[in-house]
Amino acid sequence: MNPVSAGQPWGSDLLIVDEVGIESARCGEFILRATYQPIYSRQGATLEWVAVAGGATPYYQGKPVPDAEMFERQAVPGARHVQRLGQVLQLRNYRNIGIAGIDLIIDLETPEPIDPDDPTNDLHVIAEYLQEAGLEPERLICMLGAPDSDLALRRIGEARHSGLRRGIGDFGAGHWTEEQMSALSPDVVRVDDAWFAEICRNDATIRLLGTAVARLHERPARVLVGGIDRREKLHVALQVGADLLQGPLLAESALVGSEMNEEPLRIVDLLGHAPASAPLFG
């Protein structure tokens, strides 16, 4: 199966491999390129790079452009096709990150309604290219956004059957019920960015988040806090015992092949003061 044309009639996508093996894809008039943002875990007084969040950015005439610009041009296929294409690039370029033993998070958020029986849906595409990517299933975390309960259960079940790890996003935004959380049994729970920003404004809500994190740990699930763009947010994320940390304060998202800092980050340098020895909550 051709990864860039599976399940679509346009036939205009071409896989591009440069001289060092980095892969991109032509999508109509645009070039789609894989991106990765480092995710860190606290190890004592430092943060260590343990995972990446995959993404894909369209380029037009050598410059990055918003996804919406692609869809304004009739020659470009729909959002679902572009999402599948981006997922293929994230998988195929995993070997080009250059860091061994890190996890990859792929977003399964659906920009359009999907047919779970479609042989080109994202989970089928992901399973197709895992081995080719040199990625063990347990290294891949499939992140699901706001739920359609029946479809969410089915897709998480398929991921579990394939040996993939499961994640849910937007925690705290009111999308997930306790029953859904129990049924899905996610490995990773990502806190909603906007909700977390509001949490950080008040000591009482920070304590409530600490309690919620402790309960998630009991499931057990690892808690991911993203959108960390200020030291105050990092301080709160560390306070409440978040397991995984992501955001531009720590590292920006970058095109695959870009030089990225592999060294542990000193928390004292990020916060401007020595870190607490343990989380205050949980």
The string of pLDDT tens digits covering residues 34-84 is 999 999 999 999 999 999 999 999 999 999 998 888 877 755 567 777 888
- Give, for 279, the enclosing helix (H) or strand (E): none
pLDDT at 13: 61
Q: Mean pLDDT, to the nearest integer, of 102-108?
A: 91
- Give, for 55, the enclosing helix (H) or strand (E): strand 46-60
Q: Which residues pair with 266 in a beta bridge?
A: 46
Region at 172 (left for phi over 0; alpha for psi -120 to 50; beta for the rest): left
pLDDT greater than 80 at residue 252: yes
pLDDT at 117: 56
Q: How far is CA 161 from the centre of its chain?
A: 20
Q: 6-28 pLDDT, tens per residue?
A: 444 334 467 899 999 999 998 88
pLDDT greater than 50 at residue 245: yes
* DSSP state, residue 93: T
pLDDT at 180: 78
Q: Tokens representing 279?
A: 């989380």
Burial 72-89 (b: 16+ CB within 10 A, else e): eeeebbeebbbbbbbbbb
Q: Mean pLDDT, to the nearest integer, of 272-279?
A: 60
Domain ranges of the chain: 14-271
The CA–CA distances, whole Å, from 134 to 106, 108, 152, 219 equal 15, 20, 27, 30
Q: Mean pLDDT, to the nearest integer, of 81-96?
A: 88
Burial class (CB in 10 A: 0-12, 13-18, 19+), 166: buried
pLDDT at 130: 81
Q: Tokens representing 18?
A: 């440069």
Is the pTM for the entire model greater than 0.75? Answer: yes
For CA atoms 111, 112, 113, 114, give the dihedral sign.
Answer: negative
pLDDT at 109: 66
pLDDT at 41: 98
Superfamily of domain 14-271: EAL domain (3.20.20.450)
Q: Mean pLDDT, to the nearest integer, of 81-98?
A: 88
Calculate the average pLDDT of the chain. Answer: 83
